[in-house]
């Protein structure tokens, strides 16, 4: 069997969701909201289903959605994209990333990856024959540094995978860090695959800056997005790849044999959603920030040191000052079985030199879900 996959554990998100089901626990592990999502967008999907969006759509995505993606990024980021040659719809962000990695990486190529790293990146890089060059971001800031990049970038660096906003650290990167990364990409002729699925889930007036908009990066960045995250409809699995035509063409050749296409009724509904006024997105941020604050305050009251979340559905707590004498994995096992609350151990986002004292909680939940979880955790430390 294929060693890249045969020896892998089941992804931590599925494993913890299964543990939550087995223990009848509140699931603050895998990132998904527990409300049904925007009603008008769900209705748009129902209407599209009834009105005939049910056969194979175009491999690249239905034209309405590709146009809506281009218009959306034009409106939010002044990014000008040709919907027909620079935009592709995929079955979720994970497929978009896989298509992008397989499109770029060839055997022997080096690929720079930052830890904490989302768990789908490394197996796909290895399947392509790429050699991951791992860097380690340090809490609490998780910032990029010149020394760090200089230690791995070299003429063999074919690609860098960069996740911004960063899951699980919940950091939104400032322009300075993006410009630093862009300098290295240009110096070593490196392609950036930028996982920006959390681009709209940012708080406190922060701005998301797509790496593709940094000068010199337009033709060397593959931008990955996700409607599931933008509209809190994570099970829909509608993702996007945006890139200059020479990059997108090859990603499309991979996509045609991964999933070929994506449910057209959902694509039609996402096209409708992306056209919603700016205020909708601002309100969504505000609502999620309120949930973040509710969980943050509740956890702090219990005594957990919370690392403040700038974006994503997640916040992290640092167990090290608590003197619990257990790792993040042990802590997560204990709270799911004894307190009926599931969380994600951040060490799952490392392949080497793991941070083993940080745990991720998902706050994109109803108030009563968060309050019950907090009540259950009240004597966990
Ligand atoms: N991105 C989600 C998270 O971090 C997980 C998605 C998945 O389970 N494939 O929780």
Local confidence band at 276 (pLDDT 50, 70, 90 cut-offs): very high
Ranges of each domain in the chain: 3-30+279-376, 39-276
> In the beta sheet, which residues pair with residue 89?
240
347 has a pLDDT exceeding 90: yes
pLDDT digits (tens, 9 = 90+) for 292-314: 999 999 999 999 999 999 999 99
The Cα 369–Cα 28 span in angstroms is: 9
Does 31 contact ligand 1 (Cβ within 6 A)?
yes
pLDDT at residue 25, as a whole number: 98
pLDDT at residue 53, as a whole number: 94
Nearest Cα residue to 181 out of 221, 121, 219, 141: 221
Atom of ligand 1 nearest to the CA of 94: 9
Q: Where are the alpha helices (DSSP H) in the chain?
A: 3-6, 12-22, 39-50, 63-77, 93-104, 121-127, 146-150, 175-187, 227-230, 245-258, 264-274, 278-302, 328-338, 367-376
pLDDT at residue 139, as a whole number: 86
Q: What does residue 354 show for φ and ψ, rounded to 5 degrees? A: -65, 145
Atom of ligand 1 nearest to the CA of 14: 8
More confident residue, 368 or 381: 368
Local confidence band at 140 (pLDDT 50, 70, 90 cut-offs): confident
Mutate to test the pocket of ligand 1, among 14, 19, 28, 31 (most ligand atoms within 8 A of CB): 31
For strands 239-242 and 306-307, give the pairing: unpaired
Does 167 contact ligand 1 (Cβ within 6 A)?
yes
Mean pLDDT over 65-79 rounds to 98
Q: Whose CA is nearest to atom 8 of ligand 1?
A: 13
Fold of 39-276: 3.40.640
CA of 338 to the centre of ligand 1 (A): 24
% pLDDT > 90, the chain: 98
* 34 burial level (CB within 10 Å; 0-12, 13-18, 19+): middle
Local confidence band at 381 (pLDDT 50, 70, 90 cut-offs): confident
Local confidence band at 89 (pLDDT 50, 70, 90 cut-offs): very high
CA of 21 to the centre of ligand 1 (A): 16
Nearest Cα residue to 203 out of 296, 115, 87: 296
CA of 94 to the centre of ligand 1 (A): 9
CA of 8 to the centre of ligand 1 (A): 16
CA of 155 to the centre of ligand 1 (A): 33
CA of 31 to the centre of ligand 1 (A): 6
Q: Whose CA is nearest to atom 7 of ligand 1?
A: 13
pLDDT digits (tens, 9 = 90+) for 153-184: 999 999 999 999 999 999 999 999 999 999 99
Does 165 contact ligand 1 (Cβ within 6 A)?
no
In degrees to the nearest 10, what's the CA dihedral of 33, 40, 200, 305? -30
Q: Whose CA is nearest to atom 4 of ligand 1?
A: 31
Q: What does residue 218 show for φ and ψ, rounded to 5 degrees? A: -55, -40
Same fold across 3-30+279-376 and 39-276: no
* 329 burial level (CB within 10 Å; 0-12, 13-18, 19+): middle
Mean pLDDT over 29-47 rounds to 97
pLDDT at residue 266, as a whole number: 98
Atom of ligand 1 nearest to the CA of 168: 4
Mutate to test the pocket of ligand 1, among 8, 10, 13 (most ligand atoms within 8 A of CB): 13
Fold of 3-30+279-376: 3.90.1150
Does 13 contact ligand 1 (Cβ within 6 A)?
yes
Does 30 contact ligand 1 (Cβ within 6 A)?
yes
Q: Whose CA is nearest to atom 2 of ligand 1?
A: 31
189 has a pLDDT exceeding 90: yes
CA of 30 to the centre of ligand 1 (A): 5
What mean pLDDT, rounded, does the chain reach?
97
289 has a pLDDT exceeding 90: yes
Q: Whose CA is nearest to atom 9 of ligand 1?
A: 13
Q: Whose CA is nearest to atom 1 of ligand 1?
A: 31
14 has a pLDDT exceeding 90: yes
CA of 14 to the centre of ligand 1 (A): 8
């Amino acid at each position: 069997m294929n060693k890249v996959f045969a020896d892998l554990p089941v992804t931590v998100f599925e494993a913890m969701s299964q543990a939550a089901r087995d223990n009848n626990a509140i699931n603050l592990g895998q990132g998904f909201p527990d409300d049904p999502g925007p009603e008008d967008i769900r209705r748009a999907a129902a209407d599209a289903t009834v009105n005939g969006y049910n056969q194979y759509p175009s491999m690249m995505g239905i034209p309405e959605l590709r146009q809506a993606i281009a218009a959306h990024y034009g409106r939010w980021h002044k990014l000008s994209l040709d919907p027909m040659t620079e935009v592709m719809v995929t079955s979720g962000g994970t497929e978009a990333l896989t298509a992008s990695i397989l499109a770029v990486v060839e055997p022997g190529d080096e690929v720079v990856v930052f830890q904490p790293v989302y768990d789908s990146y490394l197996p796909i890089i290895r399947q392509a024959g790429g050699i991951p060059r791992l860097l380690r971001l340090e809490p609490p800031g998780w910032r990029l540094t010149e020394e760090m990049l200089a230690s791995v970038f070299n003429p063999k660096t074919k690609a860098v995978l960069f996740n911004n906003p960063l899951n699980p650290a919940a950091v939104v990167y400032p322009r300075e860090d993006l410009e630093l990364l862009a300098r290295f990409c240009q110096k070593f002729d490196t392609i950036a695959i930028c996982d920006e699925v959390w681009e709209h889930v940012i708080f406190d007036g922060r701005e998301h800056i797509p790496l593709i908009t940094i000068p010199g990066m337009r033709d060397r960045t593959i931008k990955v997005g996700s409607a599931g995250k933008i509209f809190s409809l994570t099970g829909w699995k509608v993702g996007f790849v945006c890139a200059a035509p020479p990059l997108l063409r090859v990603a499309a050749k991979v996509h045609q044999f991964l999933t070929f296409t994506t449910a057209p009724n959902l694509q039609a509904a996402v096209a409708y959603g992306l056209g919603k006024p700016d205020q909708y997105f601002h309100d969504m941020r505000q609502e999620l920030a309120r949930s973040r604050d509710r969980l943050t305050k509740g956890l702090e009251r219990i005594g957990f040191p919370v690392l403040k979340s700038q974006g994503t559905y997640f916040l992290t707590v640092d167990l090290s000052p608590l003197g619990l004498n257990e790792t993040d994995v042990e802590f997560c096992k204990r709270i799911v079985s004894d307190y009926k609350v599931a969380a994600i151990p951040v060490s799952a986002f490392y392949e080497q030199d793991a941070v083993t004292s940080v745990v991720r909680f998902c706050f994109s939940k109803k108030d009563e879900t968060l309050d019950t979880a907090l009540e259950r955790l009240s004597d966990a430390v």
